[in-house]
Structure 1
Amino acid sequence: MKGMVIGGVGILHVFLAQFAIGGGLLLLYFERLAQQGKERDARAFVDGYFQILVLISFVVGALTGVAMWFTTIQVGARTIGLMIDQFHWLWATEWIAFSVEVAAGYAFVRVGRQLDDRGRIRLLALYATASWFSLFWINGILSWQLTPGRYLDGGGVWAGFFNPSFWPSLIFRTAVAMALAALAACVVINTLAMDRERRAALIRRASRFALPMALMPLLALWYLAVIPEDSRSWLLGGSMAMTMFVGIAAGASLLIGAYAIVGLVVKRLYISGATATLLLALAFGATAAGEFVREGARKPYTVRGVLYSNSLTPAEVAHLRQTGATATDPYPLRDESRYPSPQLVHGAKVMRALCDACHTMHGANGLVELTRTWTDDQLRQNVAKLQRTKSFMPPFAGNAADVEALVQLLRWERDGGPAVWRAQAPDQATLDQIARWLDEAGTTQVEVRR
């Protein structure tokens, strides 16, 4: 499934990006400690940590960043195009911030040891500021996808950017970035060639960066309060998969926060490199679950109220109900010869146009397995009333013939794709019934209200 590729690359990229942002703030803090004479080994830690930061976050982060753009334009070109069209100047500003971050980072690696105290602190401050502002700008664009707010009423770019979930999301991500930096610092500190007491002193300093995790439950509640009601209902029990991932993210974060705050800050315990690495891996799991929740909460949209997950607008759904989903599709199927009838070819094109972004035919989120036990009439009705069958699905963007073609394709695939297919052309009564179901469902999304 294409979405899983984007998800996998995106989770790794987000994790590394937040590590880089928190790392910049952490290094600025340690450099100040060194220059104020409050921690004798702080400078050695800064120079060692920055090498790791650049090697991992810059190199791997750059690779995953390019991979994100590549996979996104393959799967959701219209979504990313809309985001660039609406926020091109703000996105350009984010790219400038990122460029400054990279330039400052590489400059510090190359000449940091040769600079005086003022030069070092200024260069680290530039890096930390640029990296956080990169988060600031990209956060506004991404949070707009779920909570466009007054943008939908013609409020313009800034109304979309400073949307209802902007601030809780930004502060939450900043807290996460600081916690990731603290955990990574504990790993790096354990590799330094110094005795245990000196490493323990550095760990106590680094662990303070995990203290903002105490605010994360309140920030999460704030975020839940401002997202749309139907999205909130899926996270809190309406969709078991979504609720499970909320639990994973919350549980992992609670364990990390409890260990960091109670164990490291309050009890002043020592943490080994192995334990710190395990906590960092747990943090990666929390990040993965959190990103799954953030992406899933937008369904059935990629931009709420503007663009559905199959890259169609609400107005286009209504239009395609009249013309058919494949009326203007000029592209042949790669494997058209395997289908024994024109209706199955039609069904395959409908599947490609409306379902392919999120579903496979077999396997992950496979349509055949999802519908295997449904009767033919049940399948026809459920597809025709798709947004009522599952509230996180978009309305079916086609006519009665499209529904029937898709139904026959799913049945043919379920039966193993035989060379001869028994189905005859649909009778008019069947098409009329499907048309009535389509009319009953309408072309707008069903809003879930409690």
Structure 2
Amino acid sequence: MNYPIWFVPAFGGGLLIALVAIVHVFVSHFAVGGGLYLVLAERKAIKEKSQAIMDFVKKHTKFFMLLTMVFGGLTGVAIWFVISLIHPAATSLLIHTFVFGWAAEWVFFLVEIVALFVYFYAFGKMDDRTHQTIGWIYFGAAWMSLFLINGIIDFMLTPGSWISTSNFWSGFFNPTFWPSLFFRSFMSFMLAGCYGFLTATFLKDEEARHRMIRYSGVWALVSLILSVPAGWWYISVLPDKARSLVGGASPTITRAATVGAFSLAALAGLVMVLILLHPRARTRTLTVVVMVAAMGYMGAFEWTREAARRPYVINEVMYSNGILKSEVERINREGFLKNARWVQQKEITEANQLEAGRELFLHQCFACHTVGGFNNDIIRRTKNMSYGAMRKYLTTIHEKRYFMPPFVGNETELKALAAYLTAGLHKKPLADDGGAAGDRGTVLYEENCAACHSAESIKPKMKGWELAKIRAALDKLPALNPAMPEYNAPAPDKDAVAGYLFSLNNPGADSSAKDQGATLYEENCAACHSLDQVKPKMAGWPKKKIRSALDKLSALNPAMPDYSGTAVEKDFLADYLAKHTGGAQ
């Protein structure tokens, strides 16, 4: 809101950050674990008096220096560049909150650079003990960099009591600090082993090559095993809403978790193969596959951590679009455009409504949605919604999809955004009727479901479903898919939506709840009880009494079997009987 928007419609900010961040994280964690690997591998060479292993350590150090200091330095700068362009408000808040932490980290990073250069260029030119000391200094500085960055990064997900105290240490030693530190430390050691695999395959001395591959394998496997309980500990201390997203409420995290699970299994299996398999099977190709699996595992964790913050970029403090949670009420009263510094449309008129809507989209939606791009394409997401349905959806978007921020602004601005998302992107008419055109079921479906499920996509999935099954499903959506929120609507609205969904595969069929009740009566009751016989016996019974009786038929008459239909089917049947016996609805 207080900064201009870097608009890259095809990629979007989130995808660019993810691509740069995952690569940098993969290298920066190696910079930590690899430091310890170098020192201990050198110690192994000294202890075993193996010149071949010592030569390997020297070559590995050169590779390590070029990858972590040169390439890692470039990706580190790229991270700052990208986040400053895409999330300047969050970047500013982190810098101002943790200025001492950043300064300390940069000091340790300088120590890393100097120590690594001395370690590499003094290889073989100083006594072993001094050289090892330089290596330990490097590792200590690298791990302290991880220690400091870990506190700041995890603050974004779990700021803890900092929200009320604004205390540096409360924010730094936040609820996920320690589990994350352990997890990242083990991951850095695991990556050191994986990188060791790769460089060891270039050793010409066959015996040394196989010894170092096995040595690296033990590193990777032990660290990988230890990372699993640390990761579980990390998840266990997440806030309830974040844990819910990790548990399946977020489709993004579900996909990331799937990648992570497969990568973990592949990584563990491949590492064990490299350790136990015949030496000739330890090929360079296999080690490259190990690296890919390791990157998948690490990337899945980072993607999950990022997505678990949603709808915030700093949990409970700043939404992913840069709007502070504490300012939402004021902006809703005064208007978003009036408070935004980098917009041209300060007042909305009929002539500039679409352009104002576009500016609202850029400032409130573009942080996560591209326009015709690769990630969360807003055109595809909104193609099934009318203007009226979009208006209603935007009013409750955060309640329906927790991981999406609420719309912030006044009613006129909400209409402008709805207009841009429908008329602006899809050339749909602006019918200012407060709802979509069509029957009640169609309207409700557009307002509540169409943003994620087009009629074309849902139709084959529900082929063969009876109306009662569809209606029952609407009462337990999260049980069908944790990513779907509860549909908290009155029963008549659910009946209407069920009828609409039923009609997709049964065009022309009468899909009302009352007619479904008639069908159920004919199938389950009419063989023994004609409607004319039942009417006088149940005359005046209220629907509630009829519904209760359907739960205990054998108690009313031992000759009648209990009705084994679902609760929704019993509701339909009770509706039907109440209608025909004169009972109150």
TM over 0.5: yes
Which structure 2 residues correspond to residues 145-160 of structure 1 after superposition, within 5 A?
A: 145-154=156-165, 156-160=167-171
What does residue 438 of structure 2 align with? Answer: none
Deviation readout 1:337-366 (Å, 9 max, x if unpaired): xx9931112111211221122222333312
Select 1:139's aligned residue among 150, 174, 179: 150
Select 1:310's aligned residue among 318, 321, 330: 321
What does residue 99 of structure 1 align with? Answer: 110
Question: What secondary structure, in the 3-state scheme, does the structure 1 residue paired with 2:123 have?
Answer: helix
CA drift of 1:109 comes to 2.2
Residue pair 1:368, 1:413 contacting (<8 A) in 2 also: no
Deviation readout 1:254-285 (Å, 9 max, x if unpaired): 3212332x334566866222211111012112
What does residue 343 of structure 1 align with? Answer: 353
Residue pair 1:325, 1:353 contacting (<8 A) in 2 also: no
TM-score of the superposition, structure 1-length normalised? 0.88
What does residue 390 of structure 1 align with? Answer: 401
Residue pair 1:13, 1:61 contacting (<8 A) in 2 also: yes
Q: Distance in 2 between matches of 1:217 and 1:36?
A: 32
Q: Distance in 2 between matches of 1:329 and 1:70?
A: 23
What does residue 500 of structure 2 align with? Answer: none
Q: Distance in 1 between matches of 2:195 and 2:34?
A: 8
What does residue 214 of structure 2 align with? Answer: 204
What does residue 111 of structure 1 align with? Answer: 122
Deviation readout 1:83-104 (Å, 9 max, x if unpaired): 1111111111111111111111
Residue pair 1:207, 1:265 contacting (<8 A) in 2 also: yes
Select 1:181's aligned residue among 175, 188, 192: 192
Q: Distance in 2 between matches of 1:38 and 1:166?
A: 41
What does residue 415 of structure 2 align with? Answer: 404
Residue pair 1:94, 1:133 contacting (<8 A) in 2 also: yes
Question: What secondary structure, in the 3-state scheme, does the structure 2 residue paired with 1:44 have?
Answer: helix
What does residue 391 of structure 2 align with? Answer: 380
Question: What secondary structure, in the 3-state scheme, does the structure 2 residue paired with 1:207 have?
Answer: helix
CA drift of 1:39 comes to 4.7
What does residue 287 of structure 1 align with? Answer: 298
Return the letter of the residue paired with 1:318. E
Deviation readout 1:70-120 (Å, 9 max, x if unpaired): 111111111111111111111111111111111111222222231211221
TM-score of the superposition, structure 2-length normalised? 0.68
Task: Give unpaired runs (5+ residues) of structure 2.
Answer: 1-11, 436-446, 448-484, 487-585
Deviation readout 1:294-336 (Å, 9 max, x if unpaired): 10000011111111111111121111101111013354569xx
What does residue 71 of structure 1 align with? Answer: 82
Return the letter of the residue paired with 1:82. L
CA drift of 1:204 comes to 2.0
CA drift of 1:52 comes to 0.5
What does residue 60 of structure 2 align with? Answer: 49
Residue pair 2:213, 2:275 contacting (<8 A) in 1 also: no
Return the letter of the residue paired with 1:109. F
Residue pair 2:53, 2:208 contacting (<8 A) in 1 also: no
What does residue 42 of structure 2 align with? Answer: 31
Root mean square deviation, CA, Å: 2.5
What does residue 443 of structure 1 align with? Answer: none
Q: Distance in 1 between matches of 2:170 and 2:268?
A: 34
Residue pair 1:41, 1:202 contacting (<8 A) in 2 also: no
**Cα gap change, 1:253/1:146 in structure 2, threshold over 3 Å: closer, same or farther?**
same
Q: Distance in 2 between matches of 1:235 and 1:330?
A: 35
Matched, 1:6 2:12: no
Residue pair 1:320, 1:398 contacting (<8 A) in 2 also: yes
What does residue 225 of structure 1 align with? Answer: 236
Return the letter of the residue paired with 2:172. F
Q: Distance in 2 between matches of 1:378 and 1:422?
A: 12
Return the letter of the residue paired with 2:210. A
What does residue 353 of structure 1 align with? Answer: 363
Question: What secondary structure, in the 3-state scheme, does the structure 1 residue paired with 2:31 have?
Answer: helix
Relative to total residues, which structure has the larger helix share, 1 or 2? Answer: 1
The percentage of counterpart residues that share the same residue type is: 31
Q: Distance in 1 between matches of 2:55 and 2:83?
A: 40
Deviation readout 1:12-36 (Å, 9 max, x if unpaired): 0000101111111100111212232
Q: Distance in 2 between matches of 1:331 and 1:267?
A: 61
Question: What secondary structure, in the 3-state scheme, does the structure 2 residue paired with 1:47 have?
Answer: helix
Higher relative contact order (CA 8 A, sep 6+): 1
Q: Distance in 1 between matches of 2:38 and 2:180?
A: 23
Stretch moving more, 360-369 or 267-276: 267-276
Residue pair 1:317, 1:395 contacting (<8 A) in 2 also: no
Return the letter of the residue paired with 2:219. F
Deviation readout 1:35-92 (Å, 9 max, x if unpaired): 3236553311210101101111211111111111111111111111111111111111
CA drift of 1:239 comes to 1.9
Residue pair 1:21, 1:131 contacting (<8 A) in 2 also: yes
Question: What secondary structure, in the 3-state scheme, does the structure 2 residue paired with 1:286 have?
Answer: helix
What does residue 442 of structure 1 align with? Answer: none
Residue pair 2:423, 2:429 contacting (<8 A) in 1 also: no
Return the letter of the residue paired with 1:275. L
Return the letter of the residue paired with 2:327. E
Residue pair 1:252, 1:283 contacting (<8 A) in 2 also: yes
Q: Distance in 2 between matches of 1:252 and 1:40?
A: 35
Which ranges of 4 or more aligned residues in structure 1 deviate by more than 4 Å? 264-270, 421-424
Question: What secondary structure, in the 3-state scheme, does the structure 2 residue paired with 1:129 have?
Answer: helix
Residue pair 1:147, 1:227 contacting (<8 A) in 2 also: yes
Q: Distance in 2 between matches of 1:285 and 1:217?
A: 15
Task: Give unpaired runs (5+ residues) of structure 1.
Answer: 431-436, 438-447
Return the letter of the residue paired with 2:351. S
Residue pair 1:19, 1:180 contacting (<8 A) in 2 also: yes
Question: What secondary structure, in the 3-state scheme, does the structure 1 residue paired with 2:372 have?
Answer: coil
Q: Distance in 1 between matches of 2:326 and 2:194?
A: 48
What does residue 136 of structure 2 align with? Answer: 125
Return the letter of the residue paired with 1:24. G
What does residue 581 of structure 2 align with? Answer: none
Q: Distance in 2 between matches of 1:174 and 1:84?
A: 24
Return the letter of the residue paired with 2:214. R
What does residue 246 of structure 1 align with? Answer: 257
Deviation readout 1:350-398 (Å, 9 max, x if unpaired): 1122112222233331223212212322211111112112111122110
CA drift of 1:413 comes to 2.9
